Amino acid sequence: MYKLSLGITIFAVIWAATMAGELTFELPDNVIQCFFEEIEKGQKTTLEFQVVTGGNYDVDMELTQLSNKQVLYKDTRKQYDSFTWTPDTTGTYKFCFSNEFSTFTHKVVYFDFQVGDEDPLLEGMGEHATALTQMESSSVTVHEALKVVVDYQTHHRLREAQGRAFAEDLNERVQYWSIGQTVVILIIGIGQVIVLRSFFTDKKSRVSAT
């Protein structure tokens, strides 16, 4: 039996209005967390995910169309992946992240879900693109460049968070190792003192007996 995480209804409603979204969430051990999205036929859809922290930075992921139970994507122990498809029918799609194989390690997972093409920056741009003024063309170019910058920033933040988590985990291990070495040195030192004292105690006992 697995625990199915709930409490995502509000997120789903807000997300359906935007038809695109990013989310970073915690995935506890031995848990499956699922999200649902209504997608219309013919809308190009992209799902990208990455494990930010936890264990070996891997999760199981499955994407299913609920109407016909068709599994569109399924893979195990993935750290990062991106999947793009165009639905043949309108319906509800479910994508689940599983951490069932982990018995004690929590994971932090990021995903980016994009449905359909973005609306043009300028109304009517598709009809008379050649009539754009120089300022309008510059605005479109800047807008496209900013989208690329935002995408790069997102990936750099994920890498930074992953590196920071690894460094903190390594620092914790080094601290435990240092504490362990200190305890061993103290035990060895006390043991040597006790052994040396026992040598002198034996000699003093023999001298007193004679």
CB 63 within 8 A of CB 83: yes
Ranges in the chain, pLDDT < 70:
1-20, 117-132, 202-210
Instruction: Dihedral sign for Cα 24, 25, 29, 34, please.
Output: negative
- Nearest in space to 51 (alpha carbons), one of 12, 99, 122: 99
74-101 pLDDT tens trace: 999 998 899 999 998 899 999 999 999 8
What pLDDT score does 209 carry?
55
pTM score over 0.85: no
Burial of 33: CB neighbours in 10 Å, binned 0-12, 13-18, 19+: buried
Q: What torsion, rounded to 10 degrees, do the Cα atoms 103, 105, 106, 111 define?
A: -90
What pLDDT score does 205 carry?
58
Cα 132-137-139 angle, rounded to 5 deg: 125
